[in-house]
Amino acid sequence: MALEEILDVERLKGYLDLIIKRNAEKQNLIGWVLAKDIQRRKLLEIGDKYSLSMTQAILLESVCEQLPIFIEPGQIFAGTEEDAFSASYALINPAFRIESFEGYNDEMAFYDDVKPGDKMGDIKVTAQMVEDNRKFWSKHPSVEKIKDIYKETGNQTKEAVYFVERVTGHTIPGFECKKKRITLNS
């Protein structure tokens, strides 16, 4: 199939309802936990004998070699942000409600979204895997740094108006309540 056929808007629209339904049903972070488990096991194996950049390269290589890749009907790219539909990573979750959002102040909260027994490919998530990863990563320097940032900012980051996005670290202000008052001059 030619690229023009694959990316045909009308053809892709036919998958839209399926993708929306599938994403709304996802309540877990299977791929995230499997990737973190692969990284954890590799870090335990190699220790701290490499530079930080070399360690990151080794971790990326390990994840690329071991994480199952699959494409479901309607997807046009291998590798999506489907794990981002987890309840604790809610901003792009179709079930997200601003009234219940409290920011990302608990770095380990997403482990509560993982259901032991869920599978990705032929890899099954176990309760032990979840707990091992929760314990390991809760002591990691990056998590400690984020916790320090949240302590410094206090209640500011408990609101959906202002928080630190934990994956890329950018700050996202929310101006939803101000939109009604803004008028654009044409």
* pLDDT one-digit tens code per residue, 40-64: 999 999 999 999 999 999 999 999 8
Q: What is the pLDDT of residues 32-44, one digit of tens each?
A: 788 899 999 999 9
Structural domains counted in the chain: 1
Banded model confidence at residue 169, pLDDT cuts 50, 70, 90: very low
Pairing of β 119-120 and β 123-124: antiparallel
> Is residue 59 domain-resident?
yes
> Is residue 175 domain-resident?
no
Q: Please state, in angstroms and as integers, the Cα–Cα distance from residue 140 to each residue in 51, 99, 137, 143, following that order.
A: 16, 31, 5, 5
Integer Cα distance of 18 and 71 in angstroms: 14
Of the candidates 167, 160, 163, the one whose C-alpha atom is nearest the C-alpha of residue 100 is 160
Average pLDDT over residues 133-159: 82
Residue 181 has pLDDT above 70, yes or no: no
3-state DSSP assignment of residue 40: helix
Banded model confidence at residue 28, pLDDT cuts 50, 70, 90: low
Domain that includes residue 120, residue range: 3-143
With 0.85 as the threshold, say if the pTM is over it. no
